[in-house]
């Protein structure tokens, strides 16, 4: 099991909410979740950017095709959640629509880091049910 890392984070300090959520996913599921936060205020297509990053990060190479990328542009507050075909097949489109609605609401009501952590925990709980770690 690969231990999740957040660039610039030190193990000496309290882990961020996002890092705690990523560790939860790594411990409970064979799925892979990554988070990418951008500040590009000129970006027009968060879905296109997220799809490109999904490919660049090699997230289609998981055995069960159970990777999920959470992409947020902090400058525009626009986001995309990309799931590989194994995850999408296991949960269906309604799951992602509800997740996106909740995340959108959380982004308006709390700090972006907490909103991402809530989203990752939610995805992680689902991945743990559908793709549990033995």
Residue 120 and residue 79: Cα distance in Å, rounded? 14
C-alpha distances out from residue 51 to 2, 5, 6, 74, 81, Å = 23, 21, 21, 18, 9
CATH number for domain 29-130, candidates 3.40.50.300, 3.10.310.50, 3.40.50.2300, 3.40.50.720: 3.10.310.50
User: Three-class SS of residue 4?
Assistant: coil
pLDDT digits (tens, 9 = 90+) for 35-82: 999 998 888 899 999 999 999 999 999 999 999 999 999 989 899 999
Strand partners of residue 79 = 72
Residue 17 and residue 5: Cα distance in Å, rounded? 12
Model confidence, pTM = 0.87
């Amino acid at each position: 099991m690969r231990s999740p890392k957040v660039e610039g984070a030190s193990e000496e300090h309290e882990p961020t909410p996002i890092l705690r959520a990523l560790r939860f996913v790594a411990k409970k599921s064979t799925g892979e979740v990554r988070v990418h936060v951008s500040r590009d205020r000129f970006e027009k297509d968060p879905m296109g950017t997220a799809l490109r990053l999904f490919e660049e990060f090699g997230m289609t190479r998981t055995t069960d095709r159970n990777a999920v990328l959470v992409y947020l542009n902090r400058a525009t507050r626009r986001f995309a959640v990309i799931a590989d075909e194994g995850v999408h097949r296991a949960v269906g489109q309604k799951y992602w629509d509800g997740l996106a609605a909740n995340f959108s609401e959380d982004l308006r009501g709390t700090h972006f880091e907490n909103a991402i952590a809530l989203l990752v925990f939610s995805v992680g709980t689902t991945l743990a049910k559908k793709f549990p770690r033995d």
